[in-house]
Amino acid sequence: MKRSQIGATLFTARDFCRTASDLAATARKLRAMGYEAVQHTWSCPVEPREAKSILNGEGLNLVSSHERGAMLLTEPEEAVERMRELGCTLTAFPYPEGVDLQSEAGVRDFARRLAHAGRVLRDAGMTLGYHNHDLEFRTFEGATILDFLFAEIGSDLMVAELDTYWVHVGGGDCVEWCRRLRGRLPFIHLKDLAQPAEGAPHWTEIGNGVLPFPAIVAAAELSGCGQFLVEQDTCPGDPFDSLQRSFDYLVETLT
């Protein structure tokens, strides 16, 4: 993994990306930490063209995005336009909000709509990824929903953006999933999990939890991954402190 391949997801710093001036300040902080790349998120309300200009102006490459799930399923053409304005060709479906994953019909319909979105993006020269949570590890047709989605939808229509935290919570093995998705894993969310002796697991800085990141990164690289995106859904304090700790661990340990 090269240092330039390590990116920060703006979702971690979402409370500091509400305005153009806030986004510029956030970008300067990320660049000063050593990050060279970022992943945009729909939770940053700055207009896409302006966001790209700000991020690039502060020395950050905008390498991928998360667009709203409802938009991708119902108005993928709008997602294409947003991505053009952002200047990126790779996005991920973020979360199956409002999607029925409890029934066979619901899962099959979801796959059909994802395939349609993937086809619209592909025809526009872009790529749809799928960002998993633990929901997709429910049993479906003798395997998991995630297995079904990747089997049902061709690699030309949808790739993977594995989330290491949620793979683990869902009962999967992060290294094995990276291997299984060889050639279909252009980006990954690196997210660690703390498992206290008492209480529920929670998000923590990379290298501070239980996940085997040297093995995960090695397997992801062998599968063709090019974007290693740091994300922490909630932080114990200043999210920039957490982003710095995660970056430092990755640089010192894995580059």
113-131 pLDDT tens trace: 999 999 999 999 999 999 9
Over range 65-76, report the average pLDDT: 98
* pLDDT of 197: 82
In angstroms, the CA 50 to CA 60 distance is 14
Cβ neighbours of residue 221 closer than 8 Å, sequence gap 6 or more: 1
* pLDDT of 196: 86
pLDDT tens digits, 172-231: 999 999 999 999 999 999 999 999 888 888 999 999 999 999 999 999 999 999 999 999
Helices and strands: H and E segment counts in the chain: 10, 12
* pLDDT of 199: 85
Count the neighbouring beta carbons within 10 Å of the beta carbon of residue 103.
9
Confidence check: pLDDT of 107 > 90: yes
* pLDDT of 5: 98
Band of residue 61 on the pLDDT scale cut at 50, 70, 90: very high
Over range 58-73, report the average pLDDT: 98
Q: Cβ(71)–Cβ(79) under 8 Å?
A: yes
Q: Cβ(80)–Cβ(126) under 8 Å?
A: yes
CA distances from 25 to 13, 28, 29, 240, 247 (A): 11, 5, 6, 12, 18
Length of the chain equals 255
* pLDDT of 76: 98
Cα atoms found within 13 Å of the Cα of residue 123, Cβ hemisphere only: 9
Task: Output the average pLDDT for the chain.
Answer: 97
pLDDT tens digits, 127-182: 999 999 999 999 999 999 999 999 999 999 999 999 999 999 999 999 999 999 99
Outline where the chain has alpha helix (H): 20-33, 48-57, 69-74, 76-86, 104-123, 145-152, 164-169, 174-180, 213-222, 239-254
**What is the reported pTM?**
0.97
